[in-house]
Structure 1
Amino acid sequence: MIAILLSTYNGEKFVGEQIESIISQTNKDWHLYIRDDGSKDSTIKVLDEYASKFPKQISIDISCPSNMGAGESFMYLLSVVDADYYMFCDQDDVWNNDKVEKTFQRIREIESVHDETIGIGVFTDLTLVDSNLNILSASLWKADNRHPEYTKSFYKQWTNRHASYGCTQMFNKAAKELVLPYRQFKNIMGGHDNWVEYILIKKGVYEYIDEPTILYRQHGANVVGANFGHGYRQELKKIIHNPSILLKNLRKDYDRMKLMPFHVSLFLVLWYRFKQSITSFFNING
């Protein structure tokens, strides 16, 4: 069985549409586990209506009512739900109806050539849409210069902008055992999905599907950015005008390194940061 984990917070506007897209999946071997993180709007009412309508497919966790924040909330659900596979689900997106089927098929293909004790995860591209689901870009990876192949190298992934988003991840039970316990570092740089990818790149298998499986809604605080394809250039320009940003970034690197359950080489982090800066410099001046 596939456990879909949904953490909500003031999501009344879009969460119903997201749940409808999950119910419409071609693969029906899933259960949706929801935890609300202290919503002040009518999110709970919407969730209760769906749980009442689909009691065999949807469960709402009310055992821990405190406000945790998104990362802790998702990882709490992961810790209490027993399943064969897991997926994270954001409250404001819309899933393609074959998202679960395609991702599950890919993870099973990978498992077929690995020992069952190996933690395995899969992620996919995303289609960027506005709040009304009008397409902004068919591929986030192409629009925003993201490189999923960087997940083949821990240090490339560590020092570059990520192509892997939690709302596209699926991973197996062996992977769950690797990523728990979760060490929160959202205020340093990243979140629960970054934690999962770092652990699986280093200690498991982390692959990707080169196609979108989700409509990634852009609104308010979750906007990826309007300057698609120019992220590295913008970052380097900021550093040139304010070199202290570089020191702040290195401090964030160091703080993250201390949290990881394995050794991260400061030398290699610095080397990959240097290579990234050189590449960005020549892109600006080329």
Structure 2
Amino acid sequence: MATISVLLSTYNGQKYITEQIQSILKQTFSDFVLYIRDDGSSDDTLNIIHNLASTDSRIVVINDVSEDTNTNLGFGESFSTIAKYALTNSDASYFAFCDQDDYWEEDKLEVALSYFEKASSDTPILFASNYYICDDTLIVTGTFNETNPMTGVTFENLFFEGVFPGFTMMINRKLAELSFDNNYSKDIYYHDKWVTLIALGLNGQIIYSEKPLAKYRRHSDAVSSTNLGIIKKIKWRVDKVLNGDFCPRTRQMLKCFSELFYSQVDTETKRFLDTFNSSKIFKKTFYPKHLRRSFSGEVMLRLILLLGKL
């Protein structure tokens, strides 16, 4: 069986999916299986995937080999379905996450694997890397972070902000089982946050490579707060959070983590989980530890808590 399972959920991704899959198939480390589940695309994505699968036996289209149909489950449940299928149907030691519109450097899996070979398989391990920021045509405009973005990050921070995007990640089987071999993972939307939370919360190992191993497309029509002043940035974020899915998804993650791992964490972590799973607005609002790393992010979150939205 293959050493690595690569997990990819697709949805209306016909524009870039061929380029992404081809970048995976060209990896210098070739002992992997690419598990793909299409989440009910209305464009030509699934046909493109089938055409590529017909040329390479390492591609498994889950829609075709399980009772799963081309149903729109939503990103979180679709990704969880792929992870569960790969855990059940392979003995892979490692699981790499993939997005449909990015591009992998040819040594991405080889470099990641070299770090795991130095670590214990009994410990939950997460690997993530730096990446190139590109325009729609993959012209490089910058990199994500030359230094480890986990520096100074606490367990509490991870519920309220992401650190590593999923497409930079590879995890070992121990962490994959803890993350996805349960009845809760289908309710988790942010699988990248989820595996990072579990690795940190259960005293696992988190490894970061400063070498960029993927290209991330920053689409020209994407809305960003990058160029806003601090007051406008806070307002933009509050509006985005209040009118989006951040609060219900964060509450769900708090609940699921507590249900699964409460007995395995220390007293301080239990106190945090108890506080934020409660309805005590002021206790949450004035929680004594920083919850976000940036000032604007911290102010935004405290306002959300004071309003009783989280």
Query: TM-score normalized by structure 1?
Result: 0.79
1:253-283 Cα offsets, whole Å, 9 max, x none, are: 55542231333603696521387548978xx
Is residue 140–residue 146 contact of structure 1 (8 Å, CA) maintained in 2?
no
Deviations 1:197-246 (A, max 9, x none): 1111111222211222110012278x483617x7977554558x98x96x
2:289 counterpart residue number: 271
Residue in structure 2 matched with residue 140 of structure 1 by the alignment: 144
Higher alpha-carbon deviation: 21-30 or 199-208: 199-208
Partner of 1:120: 125
- Structure 1 partner of 2:306: none
TM-score by length of 2: 0.73
Structure 1 unaligned regions, length at least 5: 282-286
Partner Cα distance (1:231, 1:173) in 2: 43
Q: Which residue of 1 aligns with 2:101?
A: 92
Cα 1:117/1:264, change in 2 over 3 Å: farther
* Distance change in 2, residues 1:279/1:38 (3 Å): closer
Name the structure 1 match of 2:61.
Answer: 60
Paired with 2:96 and 2:80, the residues of 1 have a C-alpha distance of: 11
Which residue in 2 is equivalent to 1:11?
A: 13
Contact 1:74/1:88 (<8 A) preserved: no
* Letter in structure 2 aligned against 1:154: F
Shift of 1:176: 1.3
Q: CA RMSD in A?
A: 3.3
For 1:146 and 1:224, the matched residues in 2 are separated by: 26
C-alpha distance in 2 between matches for 1:73 and 1:122: 22
**Partner in structure 2 of residue 2 of structure 1:** 4
Which residue, 252, 256, 259 being the options, matches 1:259? Answer: 256
CA distance in 1, matches of 2:20, 2:144: 19
Contact 1:129 1:136 survives alignment (8 Å): yes
Secondary structure in structure 2 of the residue aligned to 1:12: coil
What per-residue deviation string (whole Å, max 9, x for no partner) do you get for residues 81-120 of structure 1?
12211011111110011111111111222x2xx3x32211
Residue 198 to residue 220, structure 1, CA distance change in 2 (3 Å): farther
Aligned-residue identity in percent: 28
The number of equivalent residue pairs is: 261
The 3-state SS of whatever aligns with 1:54 is coil
Query: Residues 139-166 of structure 1: CA distance to partner in whole angstroms, max 9, x if unpaired?
Result: 1236xx9933245x3124334x423111
User: Would the aligned equivalents of 1:15 and 1:92 in 2 still touch at CA under 8 Å?
Assistant: yes
Task: Trace 1:1-286 onto structure 2 (pairs within 5 A).
Answer: 1-55=3-57, 57-62=58-63, 63=66, 64-65=68-69, 66-81=71-86, 82=90, 83-109=92-118, 111=119, 114=120, 116-137=121-142, 139-141=143-145, 147-151=149-153, 153-159=154-160, 161-180=161-180, 181=182, 182=185, 184-186=187-189, 191-203=190-202, 204-219=204-219, 223=222, 225=224, 227=226, 235-236=233-234, 256-260=253-257, 261=260, 262=262, 263=270, 265=272, 266=275, 271-273=289-291, 276-277=294-295
Taking structure 1 as reference, are residues 50 and 146 closer, same or farther at Cα in structure 2, changes over 3 Å only?
same
| Alpha-carbon separation, structure 2, partners of 1:233 and 1:135 | 30
Gaps of 5+ in 2: 263-269, 276-283, 300-310
> Would the alpha carbon gap of residues 131 and 108 (structure 1) be closer, same or farther in structure 2, given more than 3 Å must change?
same
Which amino acid in 1 is paired with 2:85? V
Instruction: Give distance in 2, aligned partners of 1:269 and 1:92.
Output: 39
Aligned-pair distance for 1:74? 1.3
The structure-2 alpha-carbon separation of the partners of 1:224 and 1:119, relative to structure 1 and needing over 3 Å to count, comes to farther
SS at match of 1:227: coil
Q: Which residue of 2 aligns with 1:284?
A: none
CA distance in structure 2 between the aligned counterparts of 1:269 and 1:37, rounded to whole angstroms: 39
Structure 1 CA distance for aligned equivalents of residues 115 and 293 of structure 2: 33
Mapped partners of 2:292, 2:225: distance in 1? 26
Partner SS state of residue 272, structure 1: coil
Q: Residues 271 and 252 (structure 1 numbering): CA distance in 2 closer, same or farther, change over 3 Å?
A: farther
CA 198–253 in structure 1, closer or farther in 2 if over 3 Å, else same: same
The 3-state SS of whatever aligns with 2:5 is strand
